[in-house]
Amino acid sequence: MIEPIDPQVFLNDLEQQLSTMAPQQQLAFGAVCTERHFPDYLTFSAMVRWGNPEPLRRAINEAWASSAGEARLDAGTLDKLLTECEQAAPDTEDFSTLEVSYALDVAIMACYLVEFLRRPDPHFIVQLTSHARDLVDAKVQNAADFTPTKDDLEVAIM
């Protein structure tokens, strides 16, 4: 039987692995995770006709550019981008669709990318990854119609 990995153990191990990588590699990893889930934000936004994917896209693009060694945005521009990403995050109380949670996770992931650009600390990428993992778990639960109280939920998700 497959044993699930405790989420905190996973994140601790990830942080240790990330700390051995160059900041550009850490940023590229965060960009990959966020890029992978960006379509979830677009789906939500189109479905409910709410949201602003542009700052999230800019955050991802800036992460890719910075990870490739291209010129970085100045602190003031990053502060503005962070505010815009925060404003693009939907309030889950305002929408009845399940996709709102996915969109929220993507917006938070973009915020962590910008935070990393402001101050390269692997903790930001770990937090971003935590949201990516939660998003995948939620999508699997939804697709398989698992209830949160299902016995061995983590094993079933795996």
pLDDT at 146: 55
Amino acid (one-letter) located at 66: S
pLDDT tops 80 at residue 134: yes
| 3-state secondary structure string across the chain | CCCCCCHHHHHHHHHHHHCCCCHHHHHHHHHHHHHHHHHHHHHHHHHHCCCCHHHHHHHHHHHHHHHCCCCCCCHHHHHHHHHHHHHCCCCHHHCCCCHHHHHHHHHHHHHHHHHHHHCCCHHHHHHHHHHHHHHHHHHHHHHHCCCCCCCCHHHHHC
Model confidence pLDDT, tens digit, residues 49-83:
999 999 999 999 999 999 999 978 899 999 999 99
The mean pLDDT value for 118-133 works out to 94
Task: Locate 65 and state its tokens.
Answer: 């550019």
pLDDT at 6: 76
Query: Considering all CA atoms of the chain, what is the largest pairwise distance in Å, rounded to the nearest integer?
Result: 51
Q: How many Å apart are CA 129 and CA 135, to the nearest integer? A: 10
pLDDT tops 50 at residue 155: no
Q: How many Å apart are CA 156 and CA 142, to the nearest integer? A: 12
Model confidence pLDDT, tens digit, residues 82-111:
999 999 999 999 999 989 999 999 999 999
1-10 as b/e: b if 16+ CB within 10 A: eeeeeeeeee
* Confidence band of 149 (pLDDT split at 50, 70, 90): low
